Structures are given as C-alpha cells and as structure tokens.
Amino acid sequence: MNKNTIGFFALLSLCALQTTAQAVLSKDKKEVIANLEKKKDHYGDVSKQIWDFAEVGYKEVKSTAILINELKKEGFTMEEGVAGIPTAFVATYGKGKPVISILAEYDALPGMAQEAVPEKKVISGQKAGHACGHHLFGTGSVAAAIAVKDWLKQNGNTGTIKLMGCPAEEGGSGKVYMVREGVFKDSDVVLHWHPGDRNSANPASALANISAKFRFHGVSAHAAGAPERGRSGLDGVEAMDYMVNMMREHVPQDTRIHYVITRGGEAPNVVPAFAEVYYYARHHNRDVLRGIWDRIMEAAKGAAMGTGTKLEVEIIGGTYDLLPIESLAKVMHTNLDAVGGLKYSQEEIAFAEKIISTLPASTETKPKYTDAEQVAPFSTKLESMGGSTDVGDVSWAVPTVGLATATWVPGTPAHSWQAVAAGGTEIGKKGMMVASKTLALTAIDLFKDPALIEKAKTDWQKARGADFKYNALLGERKPALDYRN
C-alpha cells in the first residue's frame, strides 16, 4: 500500500469519526449550537470585559453586574445577595421539574496581572489577573443557560434552568456558604466546567482543602535598644512555619501544605508586635485532612507558647473533595465529543508557539498546539485535578458533572501568566464556546430523558453513602468577605 493510499484511508477514517460525532446531534441540538455560534462575538466581548475588571474574591461587583444584566435581558428572574454574599446570585427560568443548575465563577487572582501577549508583560497598575480563567467560566456558563432557556421556550418543554453565580472560588469557598444555606436544595443535577489546556469530560476528583490565617500578637520594642522587652509576632510565625515544615516528613506523601507570610513587620529595628501567615492544607480524603489540620493547629499553639505571643486563628475556607458520577460524565463526554475541539488561526498558531516556548521543561511529551483540536477519549480511570475547588461541596449536595476545555495553549498550567495571556485572546474565547455548547447539550439531554437523572441520583446516593451527613469544613463562620484585604 503506497503513501497516497494510506493517506486516503486515513482521511476517510477521520471523516467517519466526524460524521459519527455529528450524528448524535438532533435537529434541536444543532439549532442550539448554531444560535450559540451566532452570539460568540458578543459573549467574547463580555468575557473580555470581565478579564479587564480582574476583580478578586467577594469584590466582583462589576463582573457580577454584567452577567446579571445579560440574564435579566433574557427573561431570567434574579435573586441577588444569596447566602449573605453580595456578589452571589441565582438566575431562574422556567417552572417545574427537573431543575438543572449551571455554575458560574468570575473571581480573579491577586498578583497575576498580565497583558494578552505571548511574553511576560505585567499590566501597570493592575493588582489581579484571570490566571484561572474564571472570566470565561462565568460568561460561558451564562451563555449556556441562555441557550437552554431558548430551547425550553421554543420547544415547550417543562423544567427549570438555573444559573448559579458563585463568587470567590479562589480560596474564599463561596459555594460552601451557598450549599450550607440550601441554595442547591431544589436542584436535580448541577453542571459546571473549567478552563484548561485540553478538552476532557472524564470523571475527576479534587483535593479537600482547609485554609486559615494565623495571627501572632506580641509586644513591640526597639530591636537594638531594648530587645528583651519585645515579643516578636514574626518569631511566632517563623516558629510555626519551621514546625509545620518538619511535619512534611510525617504526613501522607500526597498531602499538600503551603503558606505565605502576609504580614511580617514594618522595619528591621522594631520588634514586630504583629505578624500573620496564611496556610492551605490539602488531601484527597477530608477525614485525613482534618487530622493533619489538627496537628497544624497544635504547631501554631506551640509556636505562640514558645515565643511568648498570643495566637488568633481565622478559618478562611474549607472545601470537600469532588465526588464524580460516571454515568453523568458519559453523557457530558458524548456531547463534548460531538462539539469537538477548537482550531487555531494562523495568528493563534504563532501566539501558541511562542507560549509553548516559554513553558518550563517537562518529562512529559512536549505539548503541541494541535492538542487543542482533540477531545480526550472517555476513561473510567479517576483523574485527579491536583488542586481544590468549592464545587466539591456542591457535588456532595447534588449530583454534579463537569468538563474542561482548551481555553489555554496546550501545556499551560493554571495560575500562570501564560494562562492569563491566552484567556484574554480568541483562543480563550473559542475554548469557552466549546464549553457553552457542551453544557447546553448536556442539559437538554437531562431535560429530555428523566431516566438519566434518576440513574445519576442512584449512583450518587451509593457513592455518597447512606450515613453521609454534610458538615462544612469551615464550620459555622460567616462568609469571609474581607479575606482578600
């Protein structure tokens, strides 16, 4: 067989695969995709505005307003300021069962300001950036909810679509308070997605997380003239950090503990009367995490005792591990496969190649921009996200399913300047629209076939366990609205 013959059969195979994927789309689904495609420029503009706002957790006033305005124009009823959070909201359209909810996020990360160019270039005067793509997350989810609303209206279907506006995912645990206050109690299934460097709807887990600010209060004194009169808050922080770092040898190896010193004093010649350190601890098993956290607390108490300082601890956040439901993941994967990945223009190829050249060396295969065209094959092997998300708490309250799409150049890690840069370009917007279409088609399947929902609920109840009782890892504290101050 010559090369031309091989190439011909390869092309036939590719066409067959594409035809098979398109074949799963009914007429109404094709119309939904076409309508979303018509509005892609508008939704791209909305996402870019939120990218420009770059508002951090619980401060997303302008970002929330623009999304709420989009939903109001489309006839959704709004409930704002839910769960005691000014930037949390619920948008509702329709009536009766089933109730399908879509999550939306929109908070940025401090210290991540970056222009939409393929080299590191900080935006002067800007304090935050969308290094996790939540400007796309929020806008893409709103687009999907509106598309489902239009489908419900045009086809005369009963049921309710909700868009859950969820602030402060980045360490603020916004959804935890919403779960705790019963915001999701009427939902039958929750859909979500996340920006990433590939397209996948496989079942995935995430790490449970507890975070807190440890504040050490001491006594100030002249560091040279009367050091014996001082009790250093910074000594308390450093003593705690030293003890926790020694703990790393004696905790399960898949534990993650990280911290930043947020206040360490003002001048070297003054014994710091106050210092603060901000900690995260993570593990895939929340019960193991609780035990690790207890040891961190004891280290903090010991540090205060040894340095003659007083300790104050404020729990900032706490999120559950993510509970995947395989049957729902299969439904979402089928729709993602039908929608397909994204193709870059020549300008985007040049951008992607420059970004790839800036990525740190990896032992894995070097990423290629064409990876964004692919959809990962479905696998029942549970994937680990490596990070944490407050979607975890939602997944233990309601059957939940999600996907990731290639809004960043393949190989790009989250929380990087490369992610911010790509998220402000057409690459990010194209990936967002893949997610919007997949979310909308998945919701339509659930509205059409109640058996899918019943199967998901059965699987979810089994995975959760008959004796499960929800207790938020952050306890009964009120939303930490000032945690970014």
Q: Is residue 294 part of a domain?
A: yes
pLDDT-derived band at 365 (thresholds 50, 70, 90) equals: confident
Give residue 361's pLDDT: 76
Residue type, 10: A
Give residue 322's pLDDT: 96
Cα end-to-end distance, the chain, whole Å: 68
3-state secondary structure labels for all residues of 316-369 = EEEECCCCCCHHHHHHHHHHHHHHCCCCCCHHHHHHHHHHHHHCCCCCCCCCCH
Give residue 97's pLDDT: 96
Give residue 461's pLDDT: 97
217 or 10: which leads in pLDDT: 217
Q: Is residue 1 part of a domain?
A: no
What average pLDDT does range 352-379 have in this prediction? 90
- CATH number reported for the structural domain that contains residue 142 in this entry: 3.40.630.10
In the chain, % of residues over pLDDT 70: 94
What average pLDDT does range 100-126 have in this prediction? 97
Residue with tokens 């619920």: 90
> Which pair of tokens denotes residue 207?
């790490």
> Which pair of tokens denotes residue 201?
């709807």
Using one digit for the tens of pLDDT, what is the confidence trace for 23-41? 468 999 999 999 999 999 9
Q: Are residues 252 and 371 in the same domain?
A: no
Q: Is residue 474 part of a domain?
A: no
Residue 157's domain comprises 31-206+324-464
Give residue 280's pLDDT: 97
Q: Are residues 246 and 334 in the same domain?
A: no
**Final residue in a domain of this structure, among 319, 346, 368:** 319
Give residue 363's pLDDT: 54
> Which of 5-19, 68-82, 431-445 bottoms out in mean pLDDT, i.e. has the lowest?
5-19
Looking at the predicted structure, is the pLDDT value of residue 9 above 80? no
Q: Are residues 132 and 250 in the same domain?
A: no
Using one digit for the tens of pLDDT, what is the confidence trace for 405-419? 999 999 999 999 999
Q: Are residues 104 and 181 in the same domain?
A: yes
Q: Are residues 430 and 456 in the same domain?
A: yes
Looking at the predicted structure, is the pLDDT value of residue 10 above 60? no
Using one digit for the tens of pLDDT, what is the confidence trace for 265-297? 999 999 999 999 999 999 999 999 999 999 999
Q: Are residues 63 and 139 in the same domain?
A: yes
What average pLDDT does range 98-102 have in this prediction? 98
pLDDT-derived band at 155 (thresholds 50, 70, 90) equals: confident
Q: Are residues 455 and 313 in the same domain?
A: no
CA distance 108 to 380: 32
Looking at the predicted structure, is the pLDDT value of residue 443 above 50? yes
What average pLDDT does range 56-84 have in this prediction? 98
**Structural domains of the chain, count:** 2
**Final residue in a domain of this structure, among 319, 345, 369:** 319
> Which pair of tokens denotes residue 129?
């950036």
Using one digit for the tens of pLDDT, what is the confidence trace for 183-201? 999 999 999 999 999 999 9
**Final residue in a domain of this structure, among 319, 338, 362:** 319
- CATH number reported for the structural domain that contains residue 276 in this entry: 3.30.70.360
Q: Is residue 9 part of a domain?
A: no
Please, what is the average pLDDT of the chain? 94
Q: Are residues 113 and 234 in the same domain?
A: no
Give residue 111's pLDDT: 96
Using one digit for the tens of pLDDT, what is the confidence trace for 387-401? 899 999 999 999 999
What average pLDDT does range 359-368 have in this prediction? 78
4 or 74: which leads in pLDDT: 74
> Which of 11-25, 124-138, 226-240, 391-405 bottoms out in mean pLDDT, i.e. has the lowest?
11-25
Q: Which of 72, 67, 85 is nearest to 183 (CA)?
A: 85
Q: Are residues 125 and 94 in the same domain?
A: yes
In the chain, % of residues over pLDDT 90: 91
Q: What is the pTM of this model?
A: 0.92
